Amino acid sequence: MNKFGERLKNGIITENPTFVQILGMCPTLAVTTSAINGLGMGLSTTVILIMSNLMIAMLRKVIPNRIRIPAYIVIIASFVTIVDFLLQAYLPELSESLGGYIKLIVVNCIILGRAEAYASKNPVAASAFDGLGMGLGFTIGLTAIGMVRELIGAGTFFGMTIPGYQPIGIFVLSPGAFLVMAFLIAFLNSRRRKSGKAAVSDTICRTEDCMHCSNTSCGGRFYDFDGETDMVGRLAEKQKQEKDTKSGQSQDGEVKQHE
């Protein structure tokens, strides 16, 4: 698989922002009362992710390190404003349903995280595909949650009424959002365990500091996945070498004493 394909797979499956990294929970839980809302929010975020990643990747060598976060926010806010105006002009009903959550994309941790972790350190094309993968993963997550909540809680599917079904109203309320998301995550985790595939990120923690690490799902914790290239593995190997060295020195000392 080429680099661009890996970026897509990483965002949709390996590091899905909704079901794996558990990021962007505010819009995920608030706007997913219907599948249309989830789809609209996800696609809006995808467009902003792609455009902001493109712009930040192009300007990565120009933006001073000290003001990189304010610069990222200005870039993201510009694209959020454009998308917000387009929705108001061409999709007013969707814009009204999503409300202020479109504007809150400015501080969405998914977009800021990809800008800091990936787009600021990689070429334009790869950054665009990273934004596309993360955006599609976020869209799939929101749409899936919205479909389940709408189907069970309102008895409709993408606005089409299901005849003869008695809806369970709690699922379109706040508790229903938590319940649906929890069950979907549990289902995906059980499927992953049955298939024997561990949810291992391809960007695990390395020896560089957290600020420049590309793994947004780590949260500052170090995991020993490969035993050789990550920090924990190297520390363990170093400790083992030191222990063997001390053991060898003590054995040599005992031999000399006997002599």
User: Is residue 217 in a domain?
Assistant: no
List Cα–Cα distances, 91 to 54, 156, 164, in angstroms. 25, 21, 31
* Long-range CB contacts for residues 207-214, cutoff 8 Å, separation at least 24: 207/231, 207/234, 212/121, 213/117, 214/117, 214/118, 214/121
Q: With respect to residue 22, please indicate whether it lies within any of the assigned structural domains.
A: yes
- Amino acid (one-letter) located at 57: A
Give yes or no for residue 243 having a pLDDT over 70: yes
Q: 245 in a domain, yes or no?
A: no
With respect to residue 230, please indicate whether it lies within any of the assigned structural domains.
Answer: no
Residue 1: pLDDT band (50, 70, 90) is low
Q: Band of the pLDDT at 191, cuts 50, 70, 90?
A: confident
Report the share of the chain in percent with pLDDT over 70: 77
Using pLDDT thresholds of 50, 70 and 90, give the confidence band for residue 84. Answer: very high
At 169 the pLDDT is: 87
> Does residue 14 lie in a domain region?
yes
- The answer to whether residue 256 scores a pLDDT higher than 60 is no
What is the overall mean pLDDT for the chain?
81
Residue 219 maps to a domain = no
> Which among 49-58, 212-221, 227-236 has the top mean pLDDT?
49-58
Residue 186 maps to a domain: yes
Q: What is the mean pLDDT of residues 199-223?
A: 47
Alpha helices in 105-197 (DSSP H): 109-114, 124-154, 174-195
pLDDT at 162 over 90: no
42 belongs to a structural domain: yes
Q: Which residue has the higher pLDDT, 26 or 244?
A: 26
Among 182, 185, 178, 176, smallest CA distance to 149 is for 176
Statement: residue 226 has pLDDT above 80: no
Q: What is the pLDDT of residue 254?
A: 58
Q: Name the residue range of residue 105's domain.
A: 3-191
Domain total of the chain? 1
Quickly count: other Cβ atoms within 10 Å of residue 9's Cβ. 15
203: pLDDT strictly greater than 70: no
